[in-house]
């Protein structure tokens, strides 16, 4: 009789079951690890995916596994609880607006000499830019990254360079999109895009209030003001067509003295701006205004811009204290009269204190900051020069929350302060904020054209710097 094979079969069945169970456990562990990594990547402040990162991309700025430590003094800034900041770069020149690439590289528009663009990269993850590249030579303000192109709003034209994924320098020469733009007095060419092939450009006014003699006491205004034909408004151009002039553009909105702070709101697809108000009500018209009134009037206007809008310059100004348009004294106003200004059918969303000089606007779409910040607007105020006898003011970043598609003025507050340092004034300030940009990790970047510094603001919670 042959020995039975049943015990051997049973033994292999048991061993096979053990191997199968072990294989399942290994697979389950691997699956759990991948799920854990994915979960960590979705939590603000941990590893993030970096769209656009390629083989030639060596940057870790904005996309490092561990966010960098903030400066012990927040780079000199005062921030809300739970936020901290670090200085990314110093001595970059007169940095105006800035943009952050998907891999965390920074591109800043420079004004003055040298102008052009400076590109910054952090290669070791400490949050500090350790690689710099410079290209271009014209001074400018506006800058944007779109569809493989780096757009630059020089004072007298708008151009773009081809920029490959992960590159710090252009791969070819600049293309001139719009040339021959006025480049004197309120020369900043801020840029915004609507995603439908349109580019919006600020073309500021050539004077304070379109007087016969600019900024001269008692000089009357020119009526009608000829500057409104080519200045003091927003023009819309084709974002991809070379060889355009101002005449090829659509005169989108008018009566805007200087809208350096210009941005598209991705939540509603509308264009917004924060407009510089006029100066010297008391100095030029002391019979109608006191020095104290002139220090706070007129308001710096936060506006939503639609085609055909007219926001009153040079004939009218917005008095936030009274909540109405007032006729400018150059055109027959006496400090109270509305005249033709009563016919203006648009009002600002919010009026900020006079002469704060709004220069940067950003709608926050990130997830790093607490939920109340999502969809709201950050505004960078460059700071005043003419608020005497009141102290000079501005020199800060303000946050405007939005609720159900509208800004909430009552909850608007200073977000970042301390840029100016101890001596608050246009010449004595240590720094003057201009540009705002959001990093791929949801951090907020701020540029400065007076001290040449760039900050990165992070949310850590509990006031932690790590």
Q: Is 457 helix (H, G, I), strand (E, B) or coil?
A: strand
Q: Please calculate the CA angle 199-377-249 and round it to the nearest 5 degrees.
A: 15
* pLDDT of res. 320: 96
DSSP string, 205-257: -SSSS-BSSTT-TTPPBPSS-GGGGTSSEEEEEETT-SSB-GGGSEEEEE--S
* pLDDT of res. 66: 79
SS3 per-residue string spanning 170-192: CCCCCEEEECCCCCCCCCCCCEE
Q: Is 295 helix (H, G, I), strand (E, B) or coil?
A: helix
Please give the Cα distance from 128 to 147 (Å, whole number): 27
* pLDDT of res. 65: 54
Both tokens of 267, joined, read 């939540």
Please give the Cα distance from 314 to 336 (Å, whole number): 16
Residues composing the chain: 466
296, 389 Cβ separation under 8 angstroms: no
* pLDDT of res. 52: 32
Please give the Cα distance from 85 to 455 (Å, whole number): 7
Strands 309-310 and 250-254: parallel
Q: Quick count: other Cβ atoms within 10 Å of Cβ 34?
A: 10
Cα–Cα distances (Å) from 223 to 205, 210, 275, 283, 328, in that order, read 15, 9, 22, 21, 12
- The position carrying tokens 């004939």 is 315
| Of 179, 92, 193, 93, nearest in space to 150 by CA | 193
* pLDDT of res. 59: 54
Both tokens of 66, joined, read 């561990």
Both tokens of 269, joined, read 């697809």
Mean pLDDT by groups of 10 residues along the chain of 466 residues: 36 35 36 34 26 41 71 98 98 98 98 94 97 98 98 98 97 98 96 97 98 98 98 98 98 98 98 98 98 98 98 98 98 98 96 98 98 98 96 98 97 98 96 98 98 98 59
* pLDDT of res. 62: 52
309, 254 Cβ separation under 8 angstroms: yes
- The position carrying tokens 């590159």 is 167
**Sign of the alpha-carbon dihedral angle for 147, 188, 377, 235:** negative
């Amino acid at each position: 009789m042959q020995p039975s094979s049943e015990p051997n079969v049973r033994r292999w069945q048991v061993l096979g079951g053990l191997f199968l169970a072990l294989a399942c456990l290994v697979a389950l562990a691997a699956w759990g690890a991948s799920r854990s990594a994915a979960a960590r990547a979705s939590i603000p402040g941990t590893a993030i995916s970096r769209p656009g990162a390629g083989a030639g991309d060596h940057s870790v700025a904005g996309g490092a596994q561990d966010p960098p430590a903030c400066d012990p003094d927040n780079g000199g800034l005062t921030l809300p609880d739970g936020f901290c900041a670090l200085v990314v770069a110093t001595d970059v020149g007169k940095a105006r607006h800035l943009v952050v690439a998907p891999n965390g590289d920074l591109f800043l528009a420079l004004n003055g000499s040298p102008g052009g663009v400076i590109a910054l990269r952090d290669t070791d993850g400490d949050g500090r830019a350790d690689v710099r590249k410079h290209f271009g030579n014209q001074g400018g303000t506006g800058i944007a990254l779109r569809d493989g192109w780096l757009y630059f709003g020089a004072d007298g034209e708008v151009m773009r360079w081809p920029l490959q994924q992960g590159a710090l320098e252009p791969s070819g020469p600049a293309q001139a999109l719009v040339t021959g733009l006025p480049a004197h007095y309120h020369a900043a060419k801020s840029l915004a895009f609507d995603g439908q092939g349109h580019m919006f450009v600020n073309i500021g006014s050539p004077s304070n209030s379109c007087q016969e003699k600019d900024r001269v006491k008692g000089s009357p205004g020119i009526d009608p003001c000829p500057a409104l034909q080519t200045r003091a408004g927003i023009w819309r151009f084709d974002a991809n067509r070379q060889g355009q002039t101002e005449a090829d553009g659509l005169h989108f909105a008018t009566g805007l003295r200087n809208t350096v702070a210009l941005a598209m709101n991705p939540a509603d697809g509308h264009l917004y701006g924060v407009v510089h108000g006029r100066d010297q009500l008391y100095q030029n018209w002391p019979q109608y205004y006191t020095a104290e009134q002139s220090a706070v009037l007129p308001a710096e206007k936060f506006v939503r811009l639609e085609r055909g809008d007219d926001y009153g310059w040079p004939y009218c100004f917005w008095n936030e204290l009274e909540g109405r348009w007032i006729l400018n004294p150059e055109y027959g106003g006496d400090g109270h009269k509305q005249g033709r200004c009563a016919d203006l059918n648009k009002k600002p969303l919010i009026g900020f204190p006079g002469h704060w000089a709004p220069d940067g606007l950003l709608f926050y779409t990130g997830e790093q900051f607490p939920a109340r910040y999502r969809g709201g607007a950050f505004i960078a105020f460059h700071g005043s020069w003419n608020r005497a006898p009141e102290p000079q003011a501005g020199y800060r970043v303000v946050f405007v929350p939005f609720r159900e598609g509208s800004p909430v003025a009552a909850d608007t507050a200073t977000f970042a302060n301390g840029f100016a340092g101890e001596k608050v004034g246009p010449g004595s300030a240590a720094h003057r904020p201009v540009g705002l940009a959001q990093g791929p990790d949801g951090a907020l970047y701020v540029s400065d054209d007076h001290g040449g510094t760039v900050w990165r603001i992070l949310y850590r919670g509990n006031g932690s710097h790590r």
